[in-house]
């Protein structure tokens, strides 16, 4: 199974030996072998007791809880992590060395810019009628790479990443039909269907990165590009940065193939939300799409952990291969 999604009002989950039993009104109970659940995504009002959480954590499964309305993350439960505390000591030492962090930051942002280029160049081949905004985005992002290679500090890298993101989303907006009202990135709350999908997708990818970093014995809170911030797993933000354009492209595919439509969303006090049927489509598609990115996150987390021990380069230029 891999991932268990619990996203219906009135669900309850209990432990029965080595099985999770899922019950809902007017339906027969369903049993899921506990050993098959690698992660669980719980949205909204689902009842379960501490024994369920303890059993999932004991076998190394991770749980993310999302709010019912906006699909915002409210909690993460992680199982046991890697036992070598020296990895975190190395991570803390590196985090205190701006000169050593800079090449990692440049590599992450270079991976993100190149992934943006791949998406927009692929879109150019499919959508010649919107060539102008796509070509402008490609030209702008390509022009940022030489400056990034010689960026002397994090603030410069941050500015180049921001310029790339602005050009990327401006070009991306040309790919979606006007009925979706997508003019660029907005959030908290997302105000259109595309941003509703981007926000949920980024939230799930962030959860994958937290789990991967924790499993490799790293502290998810302490990043090298994203500065520490209260309650934010900055290392997870670092790890998913090169993957964001991949998710952008997948969201475009959802709408381009009409697997998701305007009717799959509702407006609630200015927030655009995926309705129940839309969430089912989204989650099913995400599970089919995400496995290579999960492998990338695990691989890069262990590469970083080994690099902190001097056994491997700290990070690949993220996003250029399987991820």
| Residue range 127-171, pLDDT digits in tens | 989 899 999 999 999 999 999 999 999 999 999 999 999 999 999
313 domain residue, yes or no: no
Q: What is the pLDDT of residue 310?
A: 61
pLDDT value at residue 143: 96
Share of the chain above pLDDT 90, in %: 53
pLDDT at 322: 45
Q: What is the pLDDT of residue 76?
A: 83
Q: Is residue 317 part of a domain?
A: no
Whole domain around residue 14: which residue ranges?
Answer: 2-77
Q: How confident is the model at residue 321 (pLDDT cuts 50, 70, 90)?
A: very low
Higher pLDDT, 36 or 235: 235
201 and 62 in a common domain = no
Identify whether residues 142 and 285 lie together within a single domain: yes
Check if the beta carbon of residue 249 is closer than 8 Å to that of residue 122: yes
Q: Hey, what long-range contacts does 45-48 have (CB within 8 A, 24 or more apart)?
A: 45/9, 45/10, 45/11, 46/6, 46/8, 46/11, 46/12, 46/13, 47/11, 47/12, 47/13, 48/12, 48/13, 48/14
- Range 265-292 average pLDDT: 91
**Would you say residue 221 lies in a domain?**
yes
Same domain (yes/no): 65, 149 = no
The tens digit of pLDDT for each residue in 28-63 reads: 888 888 888 888 888 877 888 778 888 888 888 888
CB 92 within 8 A of CB 223: no
φ/ψ (deg, to 5) at 266: -130, 150
Residue 316: the pLDDT is 57
Report strand pairing: 73-77 vs 19-23: unpaired
Residue 241 has pLDDT above 80, yes or no: yes
Question: Do 217 and 122 reside in the same domain of the chain?
Answer: yes
Are residues 237 and 296 located together in one domain of the fold?
yes
Q: Give the count of domains, the chain.
A: 2
CB 20 within 8 A of CB 37: yes
**pLDDT tens digits, one per residue of 67-90:** 776 677 877 888 777 767 788 888
Is 174 part of a structural domain of the chain? yes
Is 277 domain-assigned? yes
**pLDDT grade for 314, boundaries at 50, 70 and 90:** low
Domain at 34, CATH number: 3.100.10.20
pLDDT computed for residue 323 by the predictor:
40
> Is 319 a residue whose pLDDT tops 60?
no
121, 268: one domain: yes
Q: Copy the structure tokens of residue 233.
A: 């797993």
Dihedral of the alpha carbons of 110, 113, 119, 122, in degrees to the nearest 10: -80
Region 185-201: mean pLDDT is 92
């Amino acid at each position: 199974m891999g991932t268990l999604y619990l996203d219906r009002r009135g669900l309850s989950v209990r432990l029965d030996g080595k099985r999770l039993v899922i019950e809902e009104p007017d339906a027969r109970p369903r049993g899921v072998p506990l050993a098959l659940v690698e992660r669980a995504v719980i949205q909204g009002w689902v009842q379960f007791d501490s024994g369920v959480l303890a059993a999932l954590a004991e076998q190394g499964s991770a749980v993310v809880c999302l709010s019912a309305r906006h699909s915002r993350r409210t909690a993460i439960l992680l199982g046991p992590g890697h036992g070598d505390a020296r990895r975190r000591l190395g991570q803390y030492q590196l985090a205190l060395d701006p000169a050593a962090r800079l090449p990692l930051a440049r590599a992450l942002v270079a991976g993100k810019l190149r992934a943006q280029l791949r998406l927009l160049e692929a879109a150019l081949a499919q959508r010649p009628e919107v060539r102008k905004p796509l070509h402008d985005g490609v030209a702008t992002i390509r022009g940022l790479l030489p400056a990034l290679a010689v960026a002397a500090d994090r603030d410069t890298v941050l500015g180049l990443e921001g310029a790339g993101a602005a050009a990327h989303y401006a070009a991306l907006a040309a790919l979606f039909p006007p009925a979706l009202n997508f003019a660029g990135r907005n959030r908290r709350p997302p105000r259109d269907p595309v941003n509703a999908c981007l926000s949920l997708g980024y939230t799930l990818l962030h959860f994958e990165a937290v789990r991967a970093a924790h499993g490799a014995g790293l502290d998810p809170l302490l990043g090298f590009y994203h500065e520490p911030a209260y309650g934010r797993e900055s290392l997870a933000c670092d790890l998913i940065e090169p993957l964001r354009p991949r998710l952008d492209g997948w969201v475009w595919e959802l709408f381009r193939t009409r697997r998701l439509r305007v009717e799959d969303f509702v407006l609630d006090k200015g927030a655009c939300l995926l309705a129940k049927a839309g969430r089912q489509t989204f989650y099913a598609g995400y599970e089919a799409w995400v496995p290579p990115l999960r492998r990338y996150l695990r691989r890069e987390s262990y590469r970083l952990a080994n690099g902190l021990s001097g056994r491997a380069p700290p990070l690949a230029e993220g996003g250029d291969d399987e991820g």
